[in-house]
Amino acid sequence: MQMNQTEIMEPPDDSDDHWDHESTANMLSLYLEHIDKFRNPKIRKKNVWVDIGNAVGKGPDSCDKKFRNLKQTYIRLLRKKNKSGVTTFKWPFFDIFEEIYSVDGKYQAEIQQKIREETSDRIKAYIDMSTSKLEDSQENGGTSNGQTDEVRRRLLRKRNAEFRKVTLEMRDRQRVVEEKLDRLINTVEESNNIQRERNRLFQQFLDNLRPNH
């Protein structure tokens, strides 16, 4: 299958806690360097974030929050990859997150669970609800009409048809939401790029005003 490309950027930062590409990349590189410490339960993650924050000029809480936001974007991309078969992403931090969470070609259990949990939870809830309705129908039918095997089979077929329908609807809704979110994030990123270019030109203008020594 031909590889698709999807450009998805992370959610925008708070106005008072802006991260540029360079500081974000440095933070992730330092995370990778200290990955053994993050995986060691005897070491407090907050202490590791303090060291990383000092290196990139950010506070430990800011680093932790930024990493969590990036991780959410990474997980969303993995879900999209798992669902649609997309194999290549333009998101600049995808590869380094693969290094962080993929060991010997396999994702850590935490990431595997995150990929599946949203859809699995919804499907499980629907199965539980459908099973409960079926049991109620069987119980009520047994006391009033003498439930027959044919009625049970019809109920099962109906439940399975409804289950397939709701599963397809859930997938369609998830796809629509992801597409809208992709467009929104791309719009924000384009706006950020324009602002960065404007700042660069303004700085260049100021530099040209300075007298030469």
At 118 the pLDDT is 59
Give the containing element (helix H, strand E) for 70.
helix 60-84
At 140 the pLDDT is 55
For 27-41, what is the mean pLDDT?
A: 95
CB distance 137 to 115 below 8 Å = no
At 152 the pLDDT is 79
Q: Is the pLDDT at 10 greater than 60, yes or no? A: no
- Number of domains present in the structure of the chain: 1
Q: Which domain holds residue 60?
A: 20-107
Q: Quote the percentage of the chain above a pLDDT of 90.
A: 30
| Confidence grade of residue 2 (pLDDT, cut at 50, 70, 90) | very low
Listed as own residue / partner, the contacts of 168-177 with beta carbons closer than 8 Å and 24 or more positions apart are 170/119, 170/122, 170/123, 171/83, 174/83, 174/119, 175/83, 175/84
At 90 the pLDDT is 85
Position 103 in a domain: yes
Position 9 in a domain: no
Position 63 in a domain: yes
For 148-177, what is the mean pLDDT?
A: 79
147 vs 102, higher pLDDT:
102
| Confidence grade of residue 43 (pLDDT, cut at 50, 70, 90) | very high
Position 39 in a domain: yes
Q: Quote the percentage of the chain above a pLDDT of 70.
A: 74
Position 126 in a domain: no
12 vs 65, higher pLDDT:
65
CA nearest to 18, candidates 200, 197, 192, 190: 192
Position 56 in a domain: yes
Q: What is the overall mean pLDDT for the chain?
A: 78
Residue type, 13: D
Interval 70-129: pLDDT, tens: 999 999 888 888 777 777 788 999 999 999 998 877 887 888 888 777 555 556 555 666
Q: Is the pLDDT at 8 greater than 60, yes or no? A: no
| Confidence grade of residue 157 (pLDDT, cut at 50, 70, 90) | confident
Position 160 in a domain: no
Position 88 in a domain: yes
213 vs 204, higher pLDDT:
204
